[in-house]
Amino acid sequence: MLRKKPIDKSEWPPGIWHQEPDEEEFESSGYNCLVWRTPDTGHLCGYVQIPLDHPKAKSDILDPDLSVHGYTTFSEGWSPGHGETKKYWWIGFDCDHLHDLVPNPYLKLFEESWDGYQSFEYVKQDTENLAKQLKEIANA
């Protein structure tokens, strides 16, 4: 697991987020994937790790070719050590858009516009869908 300590949810209102995991690493369509809850607002994010030679590596954050919740909001390289050459590229999305309900509503500005909470299962499925799209692009 990536997290050093669990997220303190004691001041969050009742909701499914109290029973959900805060992160999960898994494989889908041959790629490493991650669902991650942010500790501040508590919203979930989904990420897929691709090799640097993938056609979408080093792509723009807002990629119109990829269909995910909202839009892609993360596109960045990663290396195992500080200053080392990037080894992988991560593409991802988050569930903290204008109409998303977040577990810690005290940090959300537009309460009247909430459409609903994007659950852990929803984000995992959308991450798997992103991995499938990335595999299809790599195989094209």
Q: Nearest-CA neighbor of 28 among 140, 138, 139, 131?
A: 131
- pLDDT tens track for 14-73: 889 999 999 999 999 999 999 999 998 899 999 999 999 999 998 888 888 999 998 999
Residue 111 DSSP class: G
Rounded Cα gap, residues 45 and 91, in angstroms: 11
Rounded Cα gap, residues 93 and 11, in angstroms: 26
Backbone angles phi, psi at 132, to 5 degrees: -65, -45
Q: Which helix (H) or strand (E) holds 46?
A: strand 44-51
Rounded Cα gap, residues 91 and 65, in angstroms: 12
In the block, tokens 């909001």 appear at 73
Rounded Cα gap, residues 107 and 63, in angstroms: 27
- pLDDT tens track for 109-138: 555 555 688 999 999 999 999 999 999 999
Above 60 in pLDDT, residue 92? yes
Q: How confident is the model at residue 81 (pLDDT cuts 50, 70, 90)?
A: low
Rounded Cα gap, residues 82 and 92, in angstroms: 22
Over residues 2-11, the mean pLDDT reads 81
